[in-house]
A = this chain, B = another copy of it.
C-alpha cells in the first residue's frame, strides 16, 4: 500500500517511537504523580521531560504550561471553553475544522458568546484586512488553524499574532496540520495558546495531544483527581495539573516526546522541504493532466503546506479515492470535517481528494499515483 493519508494520521510511525512506547510499558508503568514509590516518581520525571521537549520545540511559556490531553480536539475544546467567558466575541478563520467550529457555534447557540468568520484568501494583505475588519470592542480571542487540513493553505501566523497583540486580543492556533510541518514558535509569533495532536506530523501515537499556553486558560471543562490537593473540592489552580484530570497516557507521552525529538533533530524546515518537493512534483504533474481540477493556480511554497486537494471532472471525490484504493493507494476523499473550507473553495458538493505525504513517502509513490490518475482522468473527457 502507498499511504498518502498522513493528514488523517501519519503511517507508519517511526520505529524509534514504537520502541519508546514499549520501553514505557516496562520502565514507566506506574501512575505518575499519584504514588511516591520509585517507579511512580520515574514515570513523573519522564512525563516532565516530555513537557520540556514540547515547550522548547514550540518556543512555549514554560514546561508547566504544557498539559497533555487525549487529542487536538480535546485540547481545542478545553482551550476555547477555558478562555471564552460570557459576553466575549471570538474571530475564527474561514478554514477552521469542525474541532473549532462546533465548540464555537455551540457557545454561540447558548448565547454565551458571539463570533465572526474572516475569509482567508490567496492574498495575505487581504486576509489580514478581512481579519482586522472583524475586531470588536469585546473581541477576546482570534482562533486560526496553522494550515488548512483540506487545501494546505498556510496562515500568516506571525502577522495575525501581531494584529492580536496590537489589539490586546488573545491568539490561539490549531496546530493539527501545522505542527511538525511548518515552524510554530509561540513567543516569537505572539501565540498565546497552541493546541496540537500527537499522531500527525509529530509522529507520535494516537491518543495524545497537548495544550501549550501562557496561562490564559482560566476555566475547566473536566475536573477530577489530579494527584494534588486531594482535599480541595475544587479543581486545583496550578498548571499543568489543572488541565490534566485522571491518569495520563504515559506510553503515548513518551512516544510523542520521541517523535518531537526526531522531528526536531531532522529539522522542520527539512521535513517541509522534502515533502514540498513531492507535492510540487505532484502538483505540476497533475496540472498537465486534462480533467484534473486543482484549487491553486501555482504551487507556492510560501503559502502552501505539503498537501494537495484535487478533483477529477465529472467524478465525486469518493469515487476517485475508491479507485485509488482499489489500486493500493490510500488517500482521503469526500469531506474533511471542514465545511467552511469546502465552501471557501466551492467543493461542498463533491468534496475533495486529499493527498498528504509524510517523511516516509518517495517520488516513486508520487509517480505511481500520477500514473493512475492519468488513466482515470483520460476517460472523463467533457
A-to-B contact residues, CB < 8 Å: 1, 3, 5, 8-9, 11-13, 18, 21-22, 25-26, 29-31, 34-40, 69-74, 76-77, 81, 97-99, 101-103, 105-106, 109, 197, 199, 205-209, 220-227, 230-231, 233-235, 245-252, 318, 321-322, 324-325, 329-339, 342, 348
Known: A221-B222, A222-B77, A321-B36. A30 touches B11 (CB 8 A): yes
Give complex CA distance A271, B183 in Å. Answer: 51
How many copies of this protein are present in the complex?
A: 2
Pick the residue among B38, B74, B334 that contacts A325 (CB under 8 A): B38
Partner pick for A231 among B5, B221, B348, CB 8 A cutoff: B348
Contact A234 B106 (CB under 8 A): yes
Told that A9-B30, A102-B234, A208-B249 touch, could you supply 4 new A-B pairs with CB distance under 8 A?
A: A11-B29, A13-B25, A99-B225, A99-B246
Name the one of B9, B30, B209, B321 contacting A8, with C-beta atoms under 8 angstroms.
B30
Q: In the complex, what residue of chain B is closest to A228 when comparing beta carbons?
A: B337
Closest to A249 in B: B207
Q: Which of B18, B109, B245, B348 contacts A77 (CB 8 A)?
A: B245
Q: Shortest beta-carbon distance, A369 to chain B, in Å?
A: 13
Looking at chain A's contact residues, the main secondary structure is loop
- Give the CA-CA distance A333 to B41 in the complex, in Å: 13
State how many angstroms separate the Cβ of A180 from the closest Cβ of chain B.
15
A225 near B29: Cβ-Cβ < 8 Å: no
List chain B residues, Cβ under 8 A from A81. 221
Min CB–CB distance A199 → chain B (angstroms): 6
Complex contacts, A246 vs chain B, CB 8 Å: 70-74, 99, 197, 209
Which chain B residue has the least Cβ–Cβ distance from A199? Answer: B247
Task: Please give, as numbers and ranges, the residues of chain B lying within 8 Å of A230 by CB-CB distance.
Answer: 98, 334-339, 342
